Amino acid sequence: MKLQHLAIIFVIIMLPISMVITSYIQAQIDTILLQNLYSRRLQTATYDAIRAFQLNTINNKYSTVSDSKIRDIEASISTFYNSLGTELGASGYDVESLQAFIPAIIYTMYDGYYIYGKYYNDTAGQYQYGLKPYIYYSCRYVQGNSDFVVNYTLDNNITVYGKVNGSYVTKSGTLINPELIKNIKRDITYTYTDTAQNTYERTYVSSVEYDNLTIGMEILKEQLVTVDENNTTALRDEYEYVIFNNRKAYKENGQEQYFWVTNNQKQEIKDSETVAFLRNMTRGGHLYSNSAAQYYADAYDFSTWVNSNLKGIKQRHSVDANGNSITKVDENGTIVTDFAIDTGEEDIFNISRTNNSLVEASVFNQNRISVIRRTIQTTLNSAIANYSSNAQYDFAMPIFNEEDWDKLVNHIAVATFMQGIPIGSKYFNKYCIITNNKNKEFVSKESINIITDDNEAHKPASREVIDRKKNVIGAYKNTDFEMQTVVISDKNERYYYPHANNKCYECMVNVAQTYNIDDIIEGTIKVYNVNTDTYEPKSTIDIKQLRTIYLTALARERYDLYKTNGYFGV
């Protein structure tokens, strides 16, 4: 056969193969491009959602109240769909059609979470999209004559309800090593008479010694912009304030008069109990807050009760909703746990120096994380698996890595899921998790900013502050360093910062410029020694002043946080 004939045969055979391969490669390229496009759009829309939630909660004075919180979440979800619909509009998807590919959106809150998805409305007799009932981070424990439930939170606050040692209880409070708390001064006492002429006496704490630090009364100040009664003139000034009964009460400068802020206007406080408290907290012309000291005193009472009554409770005493043990013993006698972290025979609620509930590595925190993680995984897995708006695709919960779980169990966060969109030869399946560290729902260890005497805001473990031995003069939660907006009228707005708006760029954006926050809590800065490959205490650094101000601020902000589960009593 001539060479020309072979060449023709080769072309006849290879040309279709080449065209098929080229078509296949191009299809794969198009699929990858589409997958990357959808991933970016999902991330953008999720960021827009969390940003909308953050802005709404920062500027909403009632964002921690349930109904208001739900409105903020629903507004955030609308932002997500509008953003996603705008981004993918060119691809032929509108907001309504996109819902078929979003099996769930989860918002992790301080003591539980919401899942947005499709559910059956008995009243309407049909399926519809909306927020499902709130789910708490809870775990049931059964041991001897105790059968109780613990509701966990994102920090060291818990609620206990059920039968404890044979008696039914409902208590909530903060867990702190009671051995570190001494010299509680319960010396603020006052009386007041209500409108029915009933007289009451109240006693509060003025100071506490916590781990050799004195936590006492403090003066809190912030910038504030209000409008006059005609809603025409803006008034800017700095006022002293305290939180009382979940509201911020301000003191008029130079006067023993107090006011709330309602709709950006001053409203004189006339409630007899509030006025009696504020006058009692006014000393030498200044209004003092005792929230931090009260936090440690209440934590001492609650933790002492927990250590006495919940001792001996271990991970193997946890059961599911049906009373079945969550941990089991296999045929080899090995305990097999359904929790992500196995804490073995360690006591969960024996709070001590070795089980410091403020420190991430403690047994209590490992169990807290495990409970939250299991609760979310169980519910979310069911919600996504039962989603059936697209019969051609089997929806399933993705496998999260440890970084993803850290975002969900330690932060206010939003997780969105997009599955089942055809992209060439496969289906798109991605999720996105973005945290919100600036909110009024939760005060994390990292969400406290400190102020130095040069009026600059820093992270509490800032190397800029510690290494240069800057003088720390105060500390507040990070949302109080964000710009606030006061709307006077259309096209007439005022902007202000409650606290220093000059932020340290290095420590705010660069984690390498901060020490470990747990070192501040425990009182010893540790640095890495390359020779021994260990972290060793740096004894030359004195952080007593920084530690006092930080732990005071953390306690105060957590005590003043709006809570709905105040059931503590002994």
471 neighbors 422 (Cβ within 8 angstroms)? no
**Stretch 313-330: mean pLDDT:** 84
Radius of gyration of the chain (CA): 28
Contact present, 164 and 280 (Cβ < 8 Å): no
Q: How far is CA 568 from CA 190, 207, 310, 378, 476, in A?
A: 22, 20, 15, 30, 26
**160-190 per-position pLDDT tens digit:** 999 999 999 999 999 999 999 999 999 988 8
pLDDT number for residue 540? 66
Tokens representing 138 are 């809870």
Place of tokens 């013993």: 329
Phi and psi at residue 485, in whole multiples of 5°? -120, 130
* Residue 344 backbone zone (phi > 0: left; psi -120 to 50: alpha; other: beta): left
Average pLDDT over residues 120-133: 82
Residue with structure tokens 């809870």?
138
C-alpha closest to that of 185 among 83, 286, 268, 297: 297
pLDDT band at 191 (very low <50, low <70, confident <90, very high): confident
pLDDT at 514 over 50: yes
Token pair belonging to 250: 């301000």
pLDDT of 335: 60
**What per-residue string of b and e applies to 273-285 under the rule 16 or more CB within 10 Å gives b?**
ebbbbbebbbeee
What's the rounded mean pLDDT across residues 238-244? Answer: 94
Average pLDDT over residues 528-538: 72
Residue 500 pLDDT level (bands cut at 50, 70, 90): confident
Average of per-residue pLDDT across 115-123: 83
Full-model pTM: 0.86
> Cα(295)–Cα(298) distance, rounded to whole angstroms?
5
Judged against a pLDDT cut of 60, whether residue 25 lies above it is answered with no
Q: What is the dihedral of CA 516, 520, 525, 527, to 10 degrees?
A: 0
**C-beta of residue 30 within 8 angstroms of C-beta of residue 56:** no
Average pLDDT, the chain: 85
Specify the DSSP element, H or E, that contains 376: helix 363-385
**426-436 vs 112-121, strand pairing mode:** unpaired
| Domain ranges (residues) in the chain | 3-103+396-415+424-436, 110-215+289-373, 219-288, 445-560
